[in-house]
Amino acid sequence: MIIELLKVKVPPEQREKYIQKDAEIWTTALAKYPGFLGKEVWINPNDTTEIVLVIHWATRENWKSIPQAELNAIERKFSEALGKSYPIVESSEYQVRKFPQK
C-alpha cells in the first residue's frame, strides 16, 4: 500500500467547509479510480490552520495513473466550490510495510 500525505493550511473559520467540500469533490472523484482504498483527514489540535489528508492507494501505479487533466479539472471544481484555492504546503509519499504478528 502507498500513502499519499498532503498538508494544507486553511483559516480556522474555513476548516469545516474545506473538509466537507474535499469529501464531496475530491474523495468522491478519487473513489472512482482503481486502487483507491480510502482517505483520512487529520486535524492538528495544536495548529487550527493545519489539515492533513492521508490517501491510501493499493499501488503507486494506481495513484499515478490518474490523468493530470482530470486532476486539474477536479481541483478547479474544488477551488470554485470554496471560492478560493488553498495551496498544498507539504506533499509526501510513504510505502506501508507490514510485518507478521508474533
Tell me the C-alpha distance between 35 and 58, whole Å.
Answer: 5
How does pLDDT run across 22-38, given as a tens digit for each residue?
Answer: 999 999 999 999 999 99
DSSP bridge pairs for 3: 56, 94
At residue 98, does pLDDT exceed 90? no
At residue 99, does pLDDT exceed 90? no
Cβ distance 27 to 88 under 8 Å? no
How does pLDDT run across 73-89, given as a tens digit for each residue?
Answer: 999 999 999 999 999 99
Q: Which CATH number fits domain 2-95: 3.30.870.10, 3.30.70.100, 3.30.70.3450, 3.40.630.30?
A: 3.30.70.100
| Domain locations along the chain | 2-95
Supply φ then ψ for residue 83, to 5 degrees.
80, 10
The mean predicted confidence, pLDDT, of the chain is 95
| pTM of this prediction exceeds 0.85 | yes
